[in-house]
Structure 1
Amino acid sequence: MAFIVPGGILFVARDADSEQPRPQYSKFASGTFTYGVGTHWGVQHFGVDIEGEIGTPILAVADGTVLEAGPAAGFGMWVRLLHDDGTVTIYGHIDTATVSAEQRVLAGEQIATLGKRGFTTTPHCHFEVWLDGEHKVDPLPWLATRGISLVP
């Protein structure tokens, strides 16, 4: 809403509800939850997988800084983010990275596109959580405590 006052001064009243607060956490990809932590094909699987179409946007789950974005053994391509609390998240089997090392990203910002690179049979995003950058934890409860559910 704008008001014009005689003398040429313009006042613009801003609606306090017009700006939405930025999310603190975001689901990392849309698609179908297919695998969780466990043994798959005789190999320990430390993350969760979201299957989807190649090119589907992959989003930063929380604010952080890009540690790596590019080739990774097994994953083909990945993005690794260091979050403000010291947690590291990994997004594997990506098609393309849309960020680069040392770049600052916000929760919900696109960091990559879903792919089928590395050791995989279907297009998906493999997501891992490492507390303090080294202790792998099950991403499902970690995400749930942040209001994110992958399973219907």
Structure 2
Amino acid sequence: MHAGLDFAGPIGAPIHSVSNGTVIEAGPASGFGLWVRVKQDDGTTAVYGHVNDMLVRAGQRVNAGDVIATVGNRGNSTGPHLHLEIWQPNGQKSDPAIYLIRHGVSLPSTDA
């Protein structure tokens, strides 16, 4: 099951935090190559996978919009992109599109 959203982009493009929170992990992760995980102030965890460069460290406080990493093609990936997941406090994965829309982010249409 693919529990996240993929955003294509060139290697090195900036990745911005989707919310205020604290970095709980920035480093290697099975399947993701490198990832950054941010425990957000609402209790959810944002997972940013396949990153090229991590620009934050565990324990660091971040604000919505801060650049935390760059787009990469590491791990189980077929091209450069950001893989974003939102985990509930109980570990259950949520639809990141719903989370983003509820927080005022406009997503590109997938209509043909």
Q: Normalization by structure 1: what TM-score? A: 0.70
Counterpart check, 1:91 vs 2:48 = yes
What's the counterpart of residue 26 of structure 1?
A: none
What's the counterpart of residue 54 of structure 1?
A: 11
The CA RMSD over aligned residues, in Å, is 0.8
SS in 2 for 1:143: helix
CA distance in structure 2 between the aligned counterparts of 1:49 and 1:94, rounded to whole angstroms: 12
CA distance in structure 2 between the aligned counterparts of 1:133 and 1:148, rounded to whole angstroms: 24
What's the counterpart of residue 63 of structure 2?
A: 106
Which is higher, the Rg of structure 1 or of structure 2?
1
Q: State the one-letter code of the partner of 1:49.
A: D
**Out of 92, 96, 101, which is 1:144 matched to?**
101
Q: State the one-letter code of the partner of 1:100.
A: R
Where in structure 1 are there 5+ consecutive unaligned residues?
Answer: 1-43
Q: Per-residue displacement from partner, 1:17-71 (whole Å, max 9, x unpaired)?
A: xxxxxxxxxxxxxxxxxxxxxxxxxxx1000000000000001100000000010
Counterpart check, 1:79 vs 2:36 = yes
Offset at 1:133? 5.2
SS in 2 for 1:45: coil
Taking a change above 3 Å as real, the CA distance of residues 78 and 59 of structure 1, as seen in their structure-2 partners, is same
Offset at 1:77? 0.2
Identity rate, percent: 51
Counting matched residue pairs gives 109
Q: Normalization by structure 2: what TM-score? A: 0.94
